[in-house]
Amino acid sequence: MDLATEVTPSEAGTILTVDLAAIVANWQTLRVVCGDAECAAVVKADAYGLGLGPVVKALYEAGCKTFFVAHAFEGRAARAIAPDAAIFVLNGMRPNTAPLYADFNLAPVLCSVPEIEDWGQYCAVTGRRTPEGGLLPAAFRLETGLNQLGLKPYDLEHGIHLSHLFDVTLVMTQLARAEHGEAIAKQIEKFEIMRMRLPKARASIANSGAIFLEANPLYDVVRPGYALYGGNPTPGRPNPMKPVVRLESQVIQVRILEPGERVGEDQGWAARGPRRISTISAGTADGIPQSLTKTKNGAGGAAIVQGKRCPYIGGVGMDLVAVDTSDSGYIERGDIVELIGPSITIDDFAAAAGVSGYEILTRLGQRCHRRYQKL
């Protein structure tokens, strides 16, 4: 059951608004930044939690021709929406799953010699072809320094011996994060040498952050994810992307606290003077990290109520969090609260919680009502 799409706004504790027009605008911005390189879209993990179906549809209609997912089932879902797009499955190919890829014309990103052998054997034995009659596609992932997935030079030599059995349309690698400039330079050097062995394949290295690195070659295809969804690909500098996500909840109850009264199960916070607090219908199960709990040393989270920034008080519970609305105007049950949005960006929210924006995005939307702002 797809619970998320069945929750109506009046039933929901939180409402997640996804601005599809902003996702498309971000893709267009990245296209301009990337010049001659093709701008693909990474839509793994349900498009970073925002909904693979609507996101792929919006980008496909805007002209996006290449999608990256992590798993075959995600590729199958994307294929249903984008019949003629190139779809790459990043996490390689598990044993005995080759038919899944062939059935939906998905290109496995082959990361090891056993995977190359599997795919080669399947293609040779079945003689299957793409709808256009060509050899089935594949990508090679090259290992250049992250030591997670990918082919070392000797693996690549082995793979090249089998590469006549399918069509290696792409060679790719994944870079370290921007702050590791020296490591990246080494990675690019290794990539350069290895990719020469497959001169006809297109090349791809850049994720969102790498697109904005100075003097970074973008090659033929770029693979942004986070930036499409409004995350800042240039940490520490102004965000060139448009915000995409708004997470809102409601005030369930307002109360006045006497000095010394405590809030929440953990009883960690006590009012110093009279305070007016509002209990909000959202918690960790809606993707608000527990680490946004206000502690003695930490700032904790904040929400926007009636245009005012209201700090969280007490702990973030599974379903509830209280905020101090003493300084806001008149507040009543049912008032809308911004948890993430124009005033509190994904990156701010994540930084306050001490986690990455990626983690925040993919955790949202477990039990919200999702609303899509169309083009």
Question: Catalytic residue numbers?
Answer: 44
Nearer to ligand PLP, 225 or 341 (CB): 225
Least distance CB 215 / ligand PLP (angstroms)? 19
Question: Which range binds ligand PLP by CB under 6 A, 71-79, 156-164, 221-229, 307-315?
Answer: 221-229
Least distance CB 125 / ligand PLP (angstroms)? 29
Nearest residue relative to ligand PLP (C-beta): 225
Residue 361 contacts ligand PLP per CB under 6 A? no
Nearer to ligand PLP, 207 or 216 (CB): 207
E strand segments, 272-349: 275-280, 302-305, 308-313, 321-324, 336-340
Nearer to ligand PLP, 140 or 312 (CB): 140
Nearer to ligand PLP, 160 or 176 (CB): 176
User: Quick one: which of 12, 15, 24, 42 contacts ligand PLP (CB under 6 A)?
Assistant: 42
Total of chain residues touching ligand PLP, rule CB under 6 A? 12
Task: Specify the pairing of strand 38-39 against strand 221-222.
Answer: parallel
Residue 226 contacts ligand PLP per CB under 6 A? yes
Least distance CB 49 / ligand PLP (angstroms)? 12
Question: Which range binds ligand PLP by CB under 6 A, 73-81, 225-233, 246-254, 304-312?
Answer: 225-233
What's the token pair of residue 49? 């939690």
Residue 224 contacts ligand PLP per CB under 6 A? yes
Kindly give, in sequence order, each residue whose CB lies less than 8 Å from that of residue 315, ignoring residues fewer than 6 positions away. Answer: 264, 265, 266, 268, 290, 293, 321
Say whether 1 counts as a known binding-site residue. Answer: no
User: Quick one: which of 14, 174, 249, 284 contacts ligand PLP (CB under 6 A)?
Assistant: 174
Calculate the alpha carbon distances from 9 to 164, 342, 363 in Å. Answer: 54, 20, 19
- From the number of C-beta atoms within 10 Å of its C-beta (0-12, 13-18, 19+), residue 308 rates as middle
Residue 223 contacts ligand PLP per CB under 6 A? yes
Residue 225 contacts ligand PLP per CB under 6 A? yes
* Window 80 to 119, contacts with ligand PLP (CB under 6 A): 90
Least distance CB 357 / ligand PLP (angstroms)? 9
Integer Cα distance of 172 and 206 in angstroms: 9
Nearer to ligand PLP, 43 or 165 (CB): 43
Contact 352, 359 (CB under 8 A): no
Residue 272 has, within 13 A of its CA and on its CB side, a CA count of 0
Residue 202 contacts ligand PLP per CB under 6 A? no
Integer Cα distance of 206 and 82 in angstroms: 23
Which helix (DSSP H) or strand (DSSP E) does residue 358 occupy? helix 357-363
Least distance CB 222 / ligand PLP (angstroms)? 9
- Mark 229-268 with x for binding to ligand PLP (rule: CB under 6 A) and - for no binding: ----------------------------------------
Closest CA to 277 of 295, 258, 291, 257: 257
The radius of gyration of the chain from alpha carbons, rounded to an integer in Å, stands at 24
Integer Cα distance of 216 and 184 in angstroms: 9
Residue 187 contacts ligand PLP per CB under 6 A? no
Least distance CB 333 / ligand PLP (angstroms)? 39
Least distance CB 344 / ligand PLP (angstroms)? 20
Contact 339, 346 (CB under 8 A): no
Neighbours of 205 (CB within 10 A): 26
Calculate the alpha carbon distances from 368 to 250, 272, 327, 343, 365 in Å. Answer: 12, 34, 28, 20, 5
Binding site for ligand PLP (CB under 6 A): 42, 44, 90, 174, 207-209, 223-227
* Binding-site residue ranges for substrate: 318
* Binding-site residue ranges: 318
